[in-house]
Amino acid sequence: LVVNIAIDLHPDQAVLDSLKIYYVFFAVAFLAFELVRRCLRKHFNCRATPVAEASYSAFGWIRPVLAQSDDAILEHCGLDALCFLRLLRLGRNIALGSMVISIMLIPVYATASGRDSSSDWIVRMAMANMNVTMDPNRLWASAVAGVAITFWTKYLLLREWKEYTTRRHAFLSRDLLQQYTVLINDLPKDLRTHATLDAYLEALFPGNVDAVHITMECRALEAKVAARKAMLTKLERAMVVNQRKSPPRIKVNAEMVDAIPHYQSQLTELNTAIQLDIEALHTHEAELGESHDAGASQFIPEEAAIAKVMRPTALVTFHSLQATQSALQMVQTTNPLEFNVAPAPHPSDMIWTNLGRTLHVRNSARLACTLVTAAVIFLWTGPTVFVTSLSNVQLWREKSPWLDDLFTTHPQLVPLFKQLSPLGLVAFSVLAPYVFLFIASFEGHASQSEMESSIYTKLVIFHFYQTFVVSLFATSLTSALPTILQQPVEAVHIMSKAVPQQASLYMSYLIIQTGLSLTIRLYRVVAFWCALVYRVCAPRVTPRERRASWFGFTPTSVAEICDQSYQLPHFFLAILFVLVFCPITPILGWCGCILFVLADVVYRRLFFFVFSPAPFTTGVYWPKMYTFIVRGMYVA
C-alpha cells in the first residue's frame, strides 16, 4: 500500500534561505542599532535605571545588562520580569543540553544507511536518514537521547521551581499594603454594608481588621465624573485659546456667550452634583445598615432599591499577615458559593469596572468566552493548513499549472515561495493575541494581570494546536485520510514520516523569530508607529493633554508596558520544538539556542532601558509556564 504524503522531501534549501535572509538581517540590524540608538536616545532610553543612565561605547551596554543579578532585576523591573528572563535562561539551558546531545547523535544519523540516497543535509543529520530494518541498533541512540533531554529538563525545572518558591515567599513577606488586603466576592445580602461586614470580620478576626470597603453601583456618578472631565478639558482649551487670541465664544441656546465663564459655571454645577451623589451613596449605605440592625424580615420597596446599590464585592485590609493568610486559606461561611476570598491586586492593576459581578455572571461569561475561544481555534485550522502547505512547492506545482509554469520560467521564486509558510505562521502568532484580548475582556477579571494570564493560557493552547499539531500533521493526514479510514494503523506510519520531515518548517520558524521578531522588538517598531499616530491625531493643546495618552497611543519617550502574555507563548513553543525534535532532528536545538541567547540580550536591554517597571507584580505566569513545559515533556 502506497500512501502519498504531502511533505517537502528537500527541505535544506528553505532552511538555508532562512539562514541567509534572517540571520544576516539581524546581524546588520544589530550593527546599525549602535548608530541609531545614539541619534534617538529618547526612543531607546525611556527609563532612569542605573544601567540606562550610564554612557556606553559601541556594544558596551551588552556586558552590563547581562551582568545584572536576579536581585537587581527584581528591584528595578519586578517579579514578572524576573520570571520572563529566567524562562529565557531555562530555554537556553534546555537548548544547550540538546546541542550536547546532537554532537553524539548527528554522527550516528549521518553515517547510517538511509532508505534514499538523499543529499539534503537536514535529512542526513536526522532520524529520517536511518533504515531501521538494516540497522535497528542505531535507534538505541535516539532512545538514550530522549531520556537524557527529559531528565535534564526535569532537573532544570526543579531548580527553577525552588527559585520561584523562594522569590514568591520573599515577595509575600514584604511590608506592603497589597500583602495585607484581600478581595472578597459573592458577599451574602446581609453583609453588603460596611457595618455588618466589619462586625462579621471582627468576630472572626478580633482586633485584626483595619479597613473595610464595599463596592457600590454608582453608574450615574461615573457618568457625571466623565462629564466633568470632558468639561474640564473644554475649559482648559478655552483658557489656552484666550492666552493666544481673543476670548473664545460659543453658542448656547441660540445665543453667543463667552466660553470660559460658561464652562466654569457648568463645571461648578457638576462638582456640586457629584458631591451630592457621593453623599447620597453614603446615606443609602447607612439606611441599609440600619434596616439590618433593626432585624427586618424583608425589605420594603425603598430598601430593596437601596440594596441594589451595594454590590457583592469588598476590599478588606488586615493588621497582620497571619490574619490575611487565614482569610485566604480558610472557609469563612457555611455556603461554599459565598464569601470567595482572593488576594487583592494592586490598585494600578485593578479593573474597577469588573468588581461587583455575581458568581453566576462571572461563570456564565467565562463559559461563553471558553466556547468562543474553542470555536476560534477550530476555525483557524483552515488558514493554518493552507499556510503550512505553502512549504511544499511540488504539491502546488502539481495542482496549479500556472504556478508550475511560473516556477519553471523563474526558478529563483521557489525559495521565496517556501518562505511564505513560516512567515504565515509568524503572522498568525502576531494576530492571535488581539483576537484573544477581545475575548478575554468579557470574562470579568478583577485585575489586568488575571486577564493577561487568561490571554496567555489561550495563546499557549492556540500555538500548540495550530503551530505544532495542525502544521505537523495536517497536510499528511489530509492527503492520506481515505487510507487511514480503511486502515487506521497507517496513521502511525504517516506520522513517523511527517514528524522528521516537518522539522525544516519549525527551524525556519525559529530562525524568523530570531531574525525578524527580535529585531522588531529591539527597534521598538510598534511603539514608533503608535507614536506617529499620536503625533498626527492626538490633541495636544493643553499641558494635561500633552502628558496624557490618547486611546492607548503615547510618544516613544514614554516607557511602554511589556506584553508578556503575548511573548511567552512563542518561547514555550520554541522549548516544545527543542524537546520534541532533540532525538529526531537534533540540529534544530542549535536554532533554539541561538533564539534564546539573543532574546536574553534583547529583552534584558528592553527591561532596563524601555519597559516600565512593575514592582507590584506577583509572578502570575511562572506556575502556568512550567506546568505547560511539563506537559510539553509528555508530548515530546
| Domain boundaries defined on the chain | 12-131+147-174+362-524+560-635, 177-356
Per-residue model confidence as pLDDT tens digits over 305-322: 555 778 889 999 999 989
CB 592 within 8 A of CB 91: yes
Per-residue model confidence as pLDDT tens digits over 59-96: 889 999 999 999 999 989 888 899 999 999 999 999 99
Separation of CA 619 from chain center: 13
Could you give the CA distance from residue 534 to residue 553 in angstroms, rounded to a whole number?
5
Q: Tell me the average pLDDT across 359-378.
A: 92
For residues 513 and 621, the model is more confident at 513
Residue appearing with cell numbers 528595578: 76
What percentage of the chain has pLDDT greater than the value 90?
Answer: 33
Predicted confidence at residue 297, as pLDDT, reads 46
Nearest to 86 by CA among 634, 633, 621, 627: 621
Mean pLDDT lowest among 52-61, 306-315, 548-557: 306-315
Predicted confidence at residue 590, as pLDDT, reads 94
CA distances from 241 to 62, 249, 544 (A): 49, 11, 15
Quote the DSSP letter at residue 470.
Answer: I
DSSP string, 196-223: HHHHHHHHHSTT-EEEEEEEE--HHHHH
Cell numbers for 355: 468588581
- Mean pLDDT, the chain, rounded, equals 84
Cα angle for residues 181, 183, 184 (degrees, 5° grid): 130
Predicted confidence at residue 6, as pLDDT, reads 44
Q: Tell me the average pLDDT across 152-176.
A: 89
Predicted confidence at residue 2, as pLDDT, reads 38
CB 296 within 8 A of CB 243: no
CB 578 within 8 A of CB 592: yes
Exposure pattern of 260-295 as b/e (b: 16+ CB <10 Å)?
Answer: bebbeebbeebeeebeebeeebeebbeebbebbeee
SS3 of 286, please? helix
Predicted confidence at residue 460, as pLDDT, reads 92
Predicted confidence at residue 404, as pLDDT, reads 76
Mean pLDDT lowest among 131-145, 208-222, 335-349, 391-405: 391-405
Predicted confidence at residue 7, as pLDDT, reads 47
CA distances from 516 to 59, 189, 415, 513 (A): 20, 56, 18, 6
Nearest to 201 by CA among 373, 75, 327: 327
Predicted confidence at residue 299, as pLDDT, reads 45
Q: Tell me the average pLDDT across 442-471.
A: 88
Residue appearing with cell numbers 502556568: 624
CB 327 within 8 A of CB 318: yes
